[in-house]
Amino acid sequence: MPVVFTSMLGMSLDGKAIDQAMTSTLGDPVHVFTQTPQVWLDHQVMEIDGELVFSWYCMEDVLADGLIDSLFKTSC
């Protein structure tokens, strides 16, 4: 399964943590989405207000029904 892991941990912009830089510049995120060609699972991680936050973006049409839910439950 082609997977990409995107970590924004420790990243900063203009001397601010990435979550603070994004919200002070653009306001609170409503929807965030990235796409990488030929990747079935994009796992993203960042810190927001001192908490670890991660997201999975998945290609549903190429994976078996229930696989992502099962993987997510196992990983968390």
Nearest to 11 by CA among 2, 3, 20: 20
When divided into structural domains, the chain yields a total of 1
Single pTM value for the model: 0.65
Tens digit of pLDDT for each residue in 27-37? Answer: 666 666 667 88
State the residue range of the domain holding 40.
Answer: 3-75
What value does the mean pLDDT take over residues 30-55?
80
Q: Which of 16-20, 47-51, 54-58 has the lowest mean pLDDT?
A: 16-20
